[in-house]
């Protein structure tokens, strides 16, 4: 399995950054960057990361199972992550999450038919001061209301 030259360069740098015999330290960053490029974590990707980091594939699999940011199935082009932990919940996070699902017509971790959007209920993102918070791919959105979310989503739809 090969990646884009950019990513290959990144991986090479990463593997060299850790002390001798600690290549396994690169498992998590490799997975997340590779996921960004390939869209999901496939069994082939697990094998490849295991080979490059010199660990058993099962050990990479454990990591994939552990971290909720790593996905085995492809997500939408825009992955809407709504926090429902305490700070967000107190100011309408749960309603926001329900609204997002209704608006997009999908359930948790599901993808819209056109493959553009997916939604996920997530744990605290460290944005409590600006609750309720939503993260779309790597962009944070603060003090989100259902109306604000509609606008955001519609704006992204138009962008296509």
Partner 1 sequence: MAETVQLTINGREIEAEKGKLLIEVARENGIEIPAFCYYEGLSLQAACRMCLVEVEKTPKLQVGCTLPVAAGMVIHTESPTVQQARKGTLEFLLTNHPLDCPVCDKGGECELQDMVFRYGAGESRFTERKLHVPEKQWSPVVFFDAPRCILCYRCVRVCNEGMGVNALGIAERGVRAEIVPNHHDYLECDECGACIDICPVGALTSGIYRYQTRPWEMNHVGTICTHCADGCRTTLGVRNEKIIRGNNRDRSGINGEFLCVKGRYAFDFVEHPERLQSPMLKTGDGFEPVSWSKALEIIGGRFAEFKKAGANFGVIGSNHTTNEENFFLQKFARQGLGTNNIDHHRTGDLATFFDALSGRTDALATVSDLYTAKAIVIVGSDLSQQHPLLANQIRANVRHHGAHVYTLTPGPVREEKLAVFTVRLPGTKQDLEALREKLKTESDVTMVFGGGASQHGMRGFIGMGDSLGIPVKYICLVDYSNSRGAFDMGVIPRDGGMCLEEMLGSTDLDVLWVVGANPLKNATLASEKAFVVVQDLFMTETAKRADIVLPAASAYEKNGTVTNVCGEIQKLKAAIKVMGTKTDLEIMGLIAKEMGLNLGIWLPDKVLDEIRATVHGYNVPLPVITTGGAAPTLPLNGRVAALPGSIASAGDTLFTSGSLSRYSKILNSIIEAPGELYADRATPRPVLPGEVTPA
Q: Which is nearer to partner 1, 57 or 74 (CB)?
A: 57
3-state per-residue secondary structure call for 43-89: HHHHHHHHHHHCCCHHHHHHHHHHCCCCCCCCCCCEEEEEECCHHHH
Contact in structure between 63 and 70 (CB atoms under 8 Å)? yes
From CA 29, how far away is CA 14, in angstroms rounded?
9
Answer yes or no whether residue 72 interacts with partner 1 by CB under 8 A: no
Answer yes or no whether residue 92 interacts with partner 1 by CB under 8 A: no
Answer yes or no whether residue 24 interacts with partner 1 by CB under 8 A: no
Answer yes or no whether residue 19 interacts with partner 1 by CB under 8 A: no
Q: Which is nearer to partner 1, 16 or 56 (CB)?
A: 56
Touching partner 1, residues 34-63 (CB under 8 A): 56-59, 61-62
Closest distance between partner 1 and the C-beta of residue 54, in Å? 10
């Amino acid at each position: 399995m090969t990646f884009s030259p950019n990513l290959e360069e990144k991986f090479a740098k990463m593997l060299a950054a850790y002390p001798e015999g600690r290549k396994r330290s690169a498992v998590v960053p490799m997975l997340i960057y590779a996921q960004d490029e390939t869209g999901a974590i496939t069994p082939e990707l697990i094998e490849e990361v295991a080979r490059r980091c010199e660990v058993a594939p099962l050990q990479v699999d454990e990591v994939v199972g552990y971290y909720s940011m790593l996905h085995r199935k492809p997500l939408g082009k825009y992955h809407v992550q709504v926090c429902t932990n305490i700070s967000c919940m107190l100011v309408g996070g749960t309603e926001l999450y329900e609204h997002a699902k209704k608006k997009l017509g999908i359930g948790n971790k599901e993808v819209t038919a056109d493959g553009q959007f997916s939604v996920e209920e997530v744990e605290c993102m460290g944005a409590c001061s600006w609750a309720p918070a939503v993260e779309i791919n790597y962009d944070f959105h603060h003090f989100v209301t259902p109306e604000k979310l509609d606008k955001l989503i519609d704006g992204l739809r138009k962008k296509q």
